[in-house]
Amino acid sequence: MADRNYLLPDGTSFVPWQDETNYTKILHVSQKNGSLTGDGSEENPFLTVSQAVPFATPGTKVIIHEGIYREAVRPIHSGKSATEMVMFCGAEGESVEITGADVFTGTFRESEGWKRQEGLVWNKIDFDQPGAKVYMAKLDRNAFVGVNPFSMSNGPMIPWYGGVVGKQFHAHTDEAKQTTTLRRGILFADGERIEQVVNYFQLGEKDNRFFVEDDGITIHVRFKGDTAPEEHTILFTARELCFCPEERYFSYLHIKNINFTKAGSGFPPPQRGIFSTNCGHHWMIEDCKVLDANGVGADIGFQCPNRLSNEPRGHQIVRNCEFSRCGIVGLTGTTGNSETVHYYDSQQEGLLIEGCKFYDNCYFNFEGLMENAALKIHRMKNSVIAHNYISGASYGHGIWADANNENLLVEGNTVLHTKQCQGSIFMEASKGRIIMRHNVVVDSKMNGHPNGGCGLYSHSSENIETTRNIALACENGGIVHHRGFGDVQRTDGGSGPTGFDFDTFENVVSDCASWVLLGTSRCKVDGNIYGSAWERAPLRIERDKIHLDLKHWQKHFGFDLNGRMADISYCLEDNETRLVITIDGKTYDINLLTDLAPQIDAIFS
């Protein structure tokens, strides 16, 4: 696709770097025509992608032809520059899948050897649902090379800060505590994930569940509808990842038109996805899919704050990709430390996340990890998140820009159906200029925290412009900018937050608990259109604990002198790809899959 022209908050243009490589060596991989003795030519292709890896040096393009490749690909050669890249791509017009899953070909038998009731009950021997049909089998030990995801707990394995790992889990609920002890392996029946349980007796409470014994090999499964194993095609995650360089810090790789699916990644930290750049920089990832990751879908950063390296970071381009059904986070990346810059002050420059789709992520209810989001990127500078479509984050944010962001543009994104502890679009602990513009948020719900369920949200920040966004059906505020976060004063980037300069212009907010909350009154606010609110006095100044209606908002602060109340109704149409919104009798039909800017601008023209 042609590069869009983005203007960053400081007025400079964002110009993405380009793949300028003249690929002089072409290698082919084909399941249909390849062989283990192939030479990689078009006439005699390799059978596996891993065969091509030793020969994929700078200036090489590896073309992968139609098929499902059950392997973990670990490149051993980095690119050198934009003119000497290494490329792995699916053949044009062909479907290519690199998967961490193998087909189960073993034998099931009736399950035995475990109590079917919780605790000390001894005189009731059947499950809570009598007649539940549970089967057991052993996974093939030889399928696991290096790591068996069914033997590893979800984790996480490394604390964000300090040395106490368990404390950093913040697993306050029984559900969260049990989630940390689940295994990373996933079972699929006919392509659908089977829910894992901690205790054997839980198989008797609901169908479509499985339990793993402590050997990481023996599984007990209750199939959907209490059907028999032979009625299903069963897959298991034999690998923890699909694609990751063998060494850290590789640069200038181009990945295009490949689906990475079904692998047993753990919970962050560290942020290690089933697709991983392994702390690389200058990767271009286009037209790919990352699907069905147990924990992290894809990581494009330095994986955790405890990483110490002076290697370059940032300059990642992720364009027109899909990230779906990832348990904790779809796409993520943090910065780590260097010998001269502390993590709190670190940044990564030149990121572009553009035109991607995220569906049904964050299905583990474990927001205490502080990692749950469809898209979570840390500490960005001179970067753009634009034109992404996000639908469904069961227990997480849609977009989360975590801490010390500067000169960041968040533009033209759609976020539907999230349930979280802050907001659908969340800017955290940042003082550098951020613009949130032309975004659409619909259906934001609370997940057990009073700050949750907001539309466009920030805390511990300042200097954020929120212009021409639409926020609808938020269980909390439509636009919320907290000065701090409780009593915590974040000093990311060397300074604490003031709550100043939350400039809020020409947004549409309706069907929310409240409309706007500002950290302080030292902000500019005008031209907003307000529909219904569930709470009285829905315009608020946090520091002074002031709650106002529009009339007194205008009178006491001079805010929204060109703002107004309106009768607003709306609905999502065509599989939620269109927002049809009516404002004071005039209807606007907004296509959520195309450029939102001119469509939202029409409301204010």
How far apart CA 522 and CA 515 sit, in angstroms, is 18
Is-contact 135 220, C-beta < 8 A?
yes
Which phi and psi angles does 343 have, rounded to 5°?
-55, -40
Task: Count Cα atoms within 13 angstroms, Cβ side, for 480.
Answer: 28
Q: How big is the CA angle at 268 (ends 263 and 269), to the nearest 5 degrees?
A: 135
Is-contact 482 519, C-beta < 8 A?
yes
How far apart CA 15 and CA 233 sit, in angstroms, is 47
Q: H-helix or E-strand containing 431?
A: none
Topology of domain 103-237, CATH: Immunoglobulin-like (2.60.40)
422-459 b/e with 16+ CB inside 10 Å = b?
A: bbbbbbbbbbbbbbbbbbbbbbbebbeeebbbbbbbbb
Give the DSSP letter string of 204-245: GT-SSEEEE-TTSSEEEEE-GGG--GGGS-EEEE--S-SB--
Domain with CATH 2.60.40 in the chain: 103-237
Task: Calculate the alpha carbon distances from 90 to 67, 161, 287, 318 in Å.
Answer: 10, 40, 10, 16
CB atoms within 10 A of CB 122: 8
Q: H-helix or E-strand containing 596?
A: helix 596-604
Q: How big is the CA angle at 306 (ends 301 and 312), to the nearest 5 degrees?
A: 40
Q: Which residues contact 110 (CB under 8 A, 6 or more apart)?
A: 134, 135, 136
Per run of 10 residues, the mean pLDDT along the chain (length 605 residues) is: 86 97 98 96 98 98 98 98 98 98 97 87 78 96 93 78 55 79 96 96 96 97 98 98 97 98 94 97 98 98 90 97 98 93 92 98 91 97 98 97 97 98 96 96 92 95 96 98 71 83 97 96 97 96 93 97 98 98 98 98 97
DSSP state of 325: S
Is-contact 239 263, C-beta < 8 A?
yes
Task: Calculate the alpha carbon distances from 375 to 316, 389, 485, 585 in Å.
Answer: 14, 11, 21, 36
pLDDT of residue 496: 81
Domain with CATH 2.160.20 in the chain: 252-498
To the nearest 10°, report the CA torsion of 278, 281, 284, 287.
30
Task: Calculate the alpha carbon distances from 267 to 61, 354, 426 in Å.
Answer: 33, 25, 21
Strand ranges of the sheet holding 373-378, from the earlier edge strand across to the other edge: 275-276, 296-299, 329-333, 373-378, 397-402, 423-428, 454-459, 477-481, 514-518, 539-541, 546-548
Exposed (0-12), middle (13-18) or buried (19+): which is 268, by Cβ within 10 Å? buried
* Residue 209, both tokens: 């569940």
Is-contact 108 138, C-beta < 8 A?
no
Which CATH number applies to 252-498?
2.160.20
How far apart CA 190 and CA 233 sit, in angstroms, is 5
How far apart CA 454 and CA 518 sit, in angstroms, is 13
